[in-house]
Structure 1
Amino acid sequence: MSASSSQRPLYLAGQVRELDRRTIEAEDDGFALMRRAGEAAYETLCARWPGVRRLCVLCGGGNNGGDGYVVAALAAADGVAVELVALKPVAELAGNARRAAELAVEAGVLPVAWDDELTLDGELMVDAMLGTGAHGAPRAPYAAAIAEVNASGCPVMALDVPSGVDVDTGHVETEAVAATLTVTFIGDKLGLHTGAALDVVGDVICASLGVDPQSHGDITPVAWLQTREDLARALPPRKPSGHKGNYGHALVVAGAPGMGGAALMTSEMAARVGAGKVSLATDAAHVSASLTRFPEIMARGVRGAPDLATMIEAADTVAIGPGIGSGAWGQAALQSVLDAGKPCVVDADALNLLVREEHDRRHDDWVLTPHPGEAGRLLGMSTGEVERDRRDAVIALQRRWGGTIVLKGAGTLVYDGERLTLCPFGNPGMASGGMGDALTGIIAGLAGQLASLEEAARIGVLVHALAADAAALDAGERGLLATDLASYARTLVNPQPVSSHADHA
């Protein structure tokens, strides 16, 4: 599995624990690594909150708690008033965590045992309660402490992972610490960037502690985090001799009777991201509206499979699904596209038809773009089960259906059977009608310009999310419409040349 140099590797907790073990073995000093973690966290704290004078540090019983004790010791040595709360009695600590607690005591900080009646005192909270090994709902006394931290109204810095978050999946079983900033150590973790975790991780900073995970060739990243720089690498300036035949002919099959809006949005986005030609096969009632709004798009009313056949034959890539409905028109259209065997992007109603009609097809040359509800139907499970482990779900989808899968949602995942990519961009304003149609058009429009359908899916997801972020920055998230993305997407697919400095967003 490879990735462009601009992308950041993401790991599972077990992989990072192995890196931790190897580092300790090489240095023959586990406490030194713990001190480096505490020092990195405290340096980050001082940079983010330089004026803080009262700190509350909550420490659990493992190495994560040990990191917190080091932070407490450093803060006290700096003249900061520290309230140190021990969720596990110090007398019961062992190993490096015990040494770290002793370091805090030597710095003049006396741990206070957690009590449900305790009132936390500090301008800033440091969460060092539950580390990367924790799974499931937090138990007592941690559940009460998490609730108290969240009720404090204070900013929070979480060490490695906010307590209550499953760092491998991003799942939150009940309640998690709502962090303002998460400082994670050695390697960045997948679960900090997708699913419910995005509601609570805040800003994420990875402190390597002098460890280079990629120098360990047998520990392969489970995913790659996209960056803005990927656009410039994938979409260089066009050659002066280029013509429309060089950039692909995208056919959009969309818009059953009464659903013409989806057809127009999908077609416009395919054109705005630079497809050489865009054709639209839709119900005849929508053709005049298409010609009025987008005369550049070749719209044709189709009544059934015979009308569609010649249009599919002329196209390089087919986008099907938006607004095709579940009736005879949509069924015939989907069957025609699948029978033709052209590279295609399948979304919306077409995904539901795959399930309803019990298709047993598995294609290598298509992109499926389900949201979690559609993904659940494609896998025969609930939406909640999909969201509990999004990585597992996208892998299962690809194994079942083939091709490239785009699992939409918070921290969209793209998986082609070999490489898993995570998009860290996008915003809640995208929770509005037509956003999926826009993405389908973007991917189809890029397919004729990039090296593969898989790359079109990855770059399409990135363009879609960044366009939405740009639109939200200009006018806010509420009221953001799919049609707002068109002008921003056009700007994004004409990126500036790659600079010498990678943007790690």
Structure 2
Amino acid sequence: MEKINKNILNQVITLRNPVSYKGNYGKILIIAGSTHFGGAAILCSSAAVASGAGLVTVATVPEKFTAINTRIPEAMTIDYQNKNDLLEAIQNNTVIAIGPGLGISSVAKGLVKVVLKEATKNQTVIIDASALTLIAEEKIPLTTNAKIIMTPHQGEWERLSTLKIHEQNELNNIDELHKLNPKAALVLKKHHSEIYYQGKVLQITAGNAGMATGGMGDTLTGIMAGFIGQFGFSIETISAALLIHSYIADKLNKKHYVILPSLLIEKLPKYMASFSYENGHYLS
């Protein structure tokens, strides 16, 4: 198992070309939130915006529009129950993240199915939280033309893979991922989180107990969406998104007993800038 070190951040996070505009930095669709879980949509979308995504659209329930528009004026909103608007958004975005705070209603189930059906080979779909639960419980096949990233914690991975937590070792995880979708990437969230992709296994050694708070996973999904929108789909990009999430948390943990996801999001632009200047190369 290969360890991911800080060099990946210098490698991936590049200076922005002075001659560029928002369209150069990714179009992100985040399908998230429900009547009882609006905060997840806000954190995920905030993280995507703060990590540098060019355009972010949040597909959620209309009663959450005001909160999202107030907290994240940079993001656009659509009603995910409006089929035409949703299909248009799926077609027009390069990265689709689905699951944070979505719940497990019949509407949510339909959203997962339509994303897997409609996404194309030029898109990346990040599947998190409720979407993972629905795929496990409803036996929804992970068949799609898009590139797939799953971001379960160990309990969610147990439901998806049927592997008990004590059985979740390197070989078993590779085998079960191959059965679900051999082309998919798995980001297994745990103490020292791991990435599995096409037989390769990577691990970060960052992270701390202060991160054990609601919304931390939603934040990671947003960062990952923002990174892939800007830097493209690769195991390096996935590694950088995972590492910076825990790297910033470790910095904050020196003075903060609990790491609030909203504070981590606030620090993202600052740390990304420091790594981009260390790199010194333009994003082409």
After TM superposition, the score normalised by the length of structure 2 is 0.90
Distance 1:485 1:281 in 2: 23
8 Å CA contact retained: 1:375, 1:397: no
The corresponding residue for 1:226 is 4
Aligned-residue offset at 1:459: 1.2
| Partner in structure 1 of residue 114 of structure 2 | 336
Aligned mates of 1:232, 1:242 — CA distance in 2? 21
What is the aligned partner in structure 2 of residue 443 from structure 1?
Answer: 224
Distance 1:244 1:498, change over 3 A: closer
Q: Is the 8 A contact 1:254 1:320 kept in 2?
A: yes
Gaps of 5+ in 2: none
Aligned counterpart for 2:261 among listed residues 478, 482, 492? 482
2:157 aligned with 1:379: no
The one-letter amino acid of 1:401's match is L
Alignment of 1:293-304 (within 5 A): 293-304=71-82
Structure 1 residue 304 displacement after superposition:
4.6
5+ long unaligned stretches in structure 1: 1-222, 500-505
Taking structure 1 as reference, are residues 290 and 251 closer, same or farther at Cα in structure 2, changes over 3 Å only?
same
Give the deviation of 1:307 after TM superposition: 3.4
One-letter amino acid matched to 2:111: A
Match of 2:175 among 389, 396, 402: 396
- In structure 1, give the amino acid aligned to 2:269: R
In structure 2, the CA distance between the partners of 1:325 and 1:407, relative to structure 1 (3 Å rule), is same
For 1:470 and 1:242, the matched residues in 2 are separated by 31
Aligned partner of 2:16 in structure 1 is 238
1:148-163 to structure 2, matched below 5 A, reads none
C-alpha distance in 1, partners of 2:243/2:112? 27
Query: Aligned runs of 1:98-497 on 2, under 5 Å?
Result: 223-341=1-119, 342-363=123-144, 365-386=147-168, 389=169, 391-402=170-181, 403-473=184-254, 475-477=255-257, 479-494=258-273, 495=275, 496-497=277-278
Measured in 2, the distance between the counterparts of 1:385 and 1:367 equals 21
In 1, Cα distance between equivalents of 2:66 and 2:243: 32
Check the 8 A contact 2:33/2:100 in 1, yes or no. Answer: yes
Q: Deviation digits for residues 249-280 of structure 1, max 9, x if unmatched? A: 01100002221100000000001111111110
Task: Evaluate the alpha carbon distance shift between residue 441 and residue 227 of structure 1 in structure 2; reply closer, same or farther with a 3 A threshold.
Answer: same
CA contact (8 A) 1:265 1:437 kept: yes
Whether the aligned pair in 1 keeps the contact of 2:192 and 2:203 (CA below 8 Å) is yes
8 Å CA contact retained: 1:351, 1:370: yes
SS at match of 1:493: helix
Alpha-carbon shift at residue 498 of structure 1 (Å): 4.2
SS in 1 for 2:15: coil
Conserved in 2, the CA contact under 8 Å of 1:305 and 1:336? no
One-letter code aligned to 2:73: P
Q: Distance between the aligned counterparts of 1:291 and 1:304, measured in 2? A: 19
Maintained 8 Å contact 2:8/2:239? no
> Deviation string for 1:91-137 (max 9, x for gaps)?
xxxxxxxxxxxxxxxxxxxxxxxxxxxxxxxxxxxxxxxxxxxxxxx
Q: Is the 8 A contact 2:78 2:86 kept in 1?
A: no
Distance change (3 Å), C-alpha of 1:305 and 1:384: farther
Kept in 1: contact 2:126–2:148 (CA 8 A): yes
**Matched length:** 272
Aligned partner letter, 1:295: P
User: Structure 1's 399 and 325: CA in aligned 2 closer, same or farther, altered over 3 A?
Assistant: same
What whole-Å deviation, never above 9, does each CA across 1:330-381 have from its counterpart, x for those lacking one? 1121112111124110000000111111122245611001111111111113
CA distance in 2, matches of 1:329, 1:445: 26
Letter in 2 for 1:269: A
Structure 1 residue 489: deviation in Å?
2.0
What are the equivalent positions in structure 2 for 1:6-25 lying under 5 Å apart?
Answer: none
Moved over 4 A (4+): none
Amino acid in the other structure paired with 2:180? W
**Structure 2: distance between partners of 1:454 and 1:230:** 10
Q: Deviations over 1:219-239 (max 9, x none)?
A: xxxx32111121111112111
| Cα-Cα RMSD | 1.7
Which amino acid in 1 is paired with 2:251?
A
Q: Does the 8 A contact of 1:270 with 1:442 survive in 2?
A: yes
Q: Distance in 2 between matches of 1:454 and 1:304?
A: 34
| Deviation of 1:450 (Å) | 1.5
Distance 1:226 1:380, change over 3 A: same
- RCO comparison, higher one (Cα < 8 Å, 6+): 2
Is this contact kept in 1: 2:192–2:206, CA < 8 A? yes
Q: CA 1:337 to 1:288, structure 2 compared with 1: closer, same or farther past 3 Å?
A: same
Q: 1:304/1:256 Cα in 2 relative to 1: closer, same or farther (>3 Å)? A: farther
Tell me, in whole angstroms, the C-alpha distance in 1 between the residues paired with 2:60 and 2:172.
32
AA at the equivalent of 1:399: H
Distance 1:487 1:397 in 2: 36
Please give the secondary structure, in 2, of the residue aligned with 1:256. coil
The letter of the residue matching 1:451 is G
| Residues 159-211 of structure 1, C-alpha deviations (whole Å, 9 max, x = no match) | xxxxxxxxxxxxxxxxxxxxxxxxxxxxxxxxxxxxxxxxxxxxxxxxxxxxx
The structure richer in helix per residue is 2
